[in-house]
Structure formats: structure tokens, C-alpha cells
């Protein structure tokens, strides 16, 4: 199905899953789009079968809590941050619900996790003002970048570079092979208002960077020139929630939730708002919105997980 204005506007709620009792704080599709994983403040990880439209057996994480859940590149394991006990990152086997490895070193909450699209490396950014480079196969940190402020991080889609958003005003671009030499580009932005960058995300085509905040402001930046292309506003965020905006697979649309149960959609070409979807519960904050990388399907997460699809053609 083509991703265009008409078809994006046709999204309808098709499945509502009530597996969680508290806020779903993160969700992620695997690269094949057949599975979705979520982490929740109720200390539960849930894997969903997107083709069958069913949740699989929940995986409890009562001792450590779970946040920032991310599939590894294989889709057979996941990484997540801790909410209790310590600030370690945990490497989870989904087949037997057992931990493979812990990654220790951060001394404050991990704010951002990014998995390499090409190899077994991943990045973590913490409130301890460090970014760490890891290899899934080793518990030892492979690289340490000290930042002057709170960082958020993401890989570019080719896996050859990564960006660090620093102190809610600077994006540093790094060569993954020479990150110890420092950024090859520093982009600075000064926007009015009191806000904090909460997520940084490269577009699937690698041409743009999306910066989410804890207010009703989203920045869209040209990844090459650093020019601020658009600011997306108008979505409610009265609770200063770290709303995670995301791209469509063709990079032409941006989706973001809100604290009044609505999902907002903007075009990246002209920055105009295309449409707004409404859930059944307008008092529930939609923190995470993800577009399936392979299918015309949207997932939105609040306390419940919701799958959105276009109407079924009876013909």
C-alpha cells in the first residue's frame, strides 16, 4: 500500500491490547516488521505478533524494571535499560526470557539507546553526561564520550555515523570508526522556551534528524547542512512527557502522540499538519508512536497498545 496523504488519513484503530497496568514507556518494531516489543512502568516486557495481531507471553522484569526497550538487529534478542537497583543495560534473550549479559558503567539513568543497523554495536546515552559505545558480545565498554550536558543519541541508517544531541541545543555528528577524535560536525540550535530534548532520530533516508522534546515542540533538521527545516507544534503535552515522535518508512511523514490521547501527523516536505487521529481515551497520554518498517501499520502506546490499519476493502 502506498504511503500517501489519502492512505495515511485512512488509519483506523483495529486492535487494542490491555496487557499493561501502567504507562508503556517504549516500543520498537523488529526490522522485518513482524514483531513489536514494548516495555512498561509496570515492569513488564510484551512481544506482539503483528501478523496474527496477538500478544505473546509477557516477560516480567520486576527486580530491575524496564525502559528504552530495543530489538537487536537479529530480532531474537532485546536491550533495555533499568528502572530500579542500578543503571545497567540488560541484554535479553526472547526465546527463553533469560538475560545474556549486563552492560555496566553508567552511574545515572540511561536516557537513550540506539542499535547499529549494520553490526553488533549499540550506543547508550545517560544523565551522567556520557555516551558509551558497546559491542553486544562483550560486557566491556568499547568507547566513552564525555558530554557537557545531558545527551540523546541515534545511528544514521547506514550505521557509519551517529548523532549526539547535547544539552538540548547541540547536535554532534560522529564517524563511528573515529569517534574518539570527536565530532566531524557540530550543529547548534537556539529555540525559545524551557524544554529538554528527549529523543533524537535519523530519518530512514538519512537526510533529516528529528528531535523530540518534553514539551509540544518537535524539531526537524537537515542532517547535512544542519538547517532547521521545520518545527512541529500543536500537540498537547501538559505533563512534560518525553513524547517520542517517529518517521514513516519513506521519511515523508512524522507521527507523534500527545497527552490528550491524540496522534498528530505532519508532512516533512512542507511542515504542514496532515491529520489527527483520536483514541477512545482522551485522558491517556500517547507516549510512543511507531510506523511498521515493512507494513502499512501504525502502533501507538499509552497504558494500552493500539494497532492502526487502513479500512479493509471488502472487494
Question: Is residue 180 in a domain?
Answer: yes
Question: Is residue 314 in a domain?
Answer: no
- The domain that holds 211 is classified in CATH as 2.130.10.10
What is the reported pLDDT for 315? 46
Mean pLDDT of 245-249: 98
Tell me the sheet residues that pair with 38. 27, 46
In 3D, which of 8, 19, 10 has the Cα closest to residue 302?
19
What is the reported pLDDT for 313? 67
Mean pLDDT of 115-123: 97
E-assigned strand segments in 30-160 = 35-40, 44-49, 54-55, 59-60, 67-71, 77-81, 89-93, 98-103, 110-115, 121-126, 130-135, 143-146, 151-155
Above 70 in pLDDT, residue 314?
Answer: no
What domain range includes position 297? 5-309
Nearest-angstrom CA–CA distance, 61 and 39: 9
Q: What are phi and psi of 252, to 5 degrees?
A: -90, -10
Kindly write down the DSSP assignment for every residue of 58-76, as one continuous string.
-EE-TTT--EEEEE-TTSS
Contact by Cβ (8 Å): 107, 86: no
Question: Is residue 23 in a domain?
Answer: yes
Nearest-angstrom CA–CA distance, 229 and 220: 6
User: From the CB of residue 49, how many other CB atoms can be counted at a distance below 10 Å?
Assistant: 12
CA 221 to the chain's CA centroid: 17
Nearest-angstrom CA–CA distance, 234 and 216: 7
Question: Is residue 225 in a domain?
Answer: yes
Question: Is residue 284 in a domain?
Answer: yes
Give per-residue pLDDT as tens, 31-89: 999 999 999 999 999 999 999 999 998 999 999 999 999 999 999 999 999 999 999 99
Question: Is residue 264 in a domain?
Answer: yes
Question: Is residue 282 in a domain?
Answer: yes
Give per-residue pLDDT as tens, 213-232: 999 999 999 999 999 999 99
What is the reported pLDDT for 190? 81
Nearest-angstrom CA–CA distance, 271 and 264: 12
Above 80 in pLDDT, residue 283?
Answer: no
Question: Is residue 315 in a domain?
Answer: no
Domains in the chain, number: 1
Amino acid at each position: 500500500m502506498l504511503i500517501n496523504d489519502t492512505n495515511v488519513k485512512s488509519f483506523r484503530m483495529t486492535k487494542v491490547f490491555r496487557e499493561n497496568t501502567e504507562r508503556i514507556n517504549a516500543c520498537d518494531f523488529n526490522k522485518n516488521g513482524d514483531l513489536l516489543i514494548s516495555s512498561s512502568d509496570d515492569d513488564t516486557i510484551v512481544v506482539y505478533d503483528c501478523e496474527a495481531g496477538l500478544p505473546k507471553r509477557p516477560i516480567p522484569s520486576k527486580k530491575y524494571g524496564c525502559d528504552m526497550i530495543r530489538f537487536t538487529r537479529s530480532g531474537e534478542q532485546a536491550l533495555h535499560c533499568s528502572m530500579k537497583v542500578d543503571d545497567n543495560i540488560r541484554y535479553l534473550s526472547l526465546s527463553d526470557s533469560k538475560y545474556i549479559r549486563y552492560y555496566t558503567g553508567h552511574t545515572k539513568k540511561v536516557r537513550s539507546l540506539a542499535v547499529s543497523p549494520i553490526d553488533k554495536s549499540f550506543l547508550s546515552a545517560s544523565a551522567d553526561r556520557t555516551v558509551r559505545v558497546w559491542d553486544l558480545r562483550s560486557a566491556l565498554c568499547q568507547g566513552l564520550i564525555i558530554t557537557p550536558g545531558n545527551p540523546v543519541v541515534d545511528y544514521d541508517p547506514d550505521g557509519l555515523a551517529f548523532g549526539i544531541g547535547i544539552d538540548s541545543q547541540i547536535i554532534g555528528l560522529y564517524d563511528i570508526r573515529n569517534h574518539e577524535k570527536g565530532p566531524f560536525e557540530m550543529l547548534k540550535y537556539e529555540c525559545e522556551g524551557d524544554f529538554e530534548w528527549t529523543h533524537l532520530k535519523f530519518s530512514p533516508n538519512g537526510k533529516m534528524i528529528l528531535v523530540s522534546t518534553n514539551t509540544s515542540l518537535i524539531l526537524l533538521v537537515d542532517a547535512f547542512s544542519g538547517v532547521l527545516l521545520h518545527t512541529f507544534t500543536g500537540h498537547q503535552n501538559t505533563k512534560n512527557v518525553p513524547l517520542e515522535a517517529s518517521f514513516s518508512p519513506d521519511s515523508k511523514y512524522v507521527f507523534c502522540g500527545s497527552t490528550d490521547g491524540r496522534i498528530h501527523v505532519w508532512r516533512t516536505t512542507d511542515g504542514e499538519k496532515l491529520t489527527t487521529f483520536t483514541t477512545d481515551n482522551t485522558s491517556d497520554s500517547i507516549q510512543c508512536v511507531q510506523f511498521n518498517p515493512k507494513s502499512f501499520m501504525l502502533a501507538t502506546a499509552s497504558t494500552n497498545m493500539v494497532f492502526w490499519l487502513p479500512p479493509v476493502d471488502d472487494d
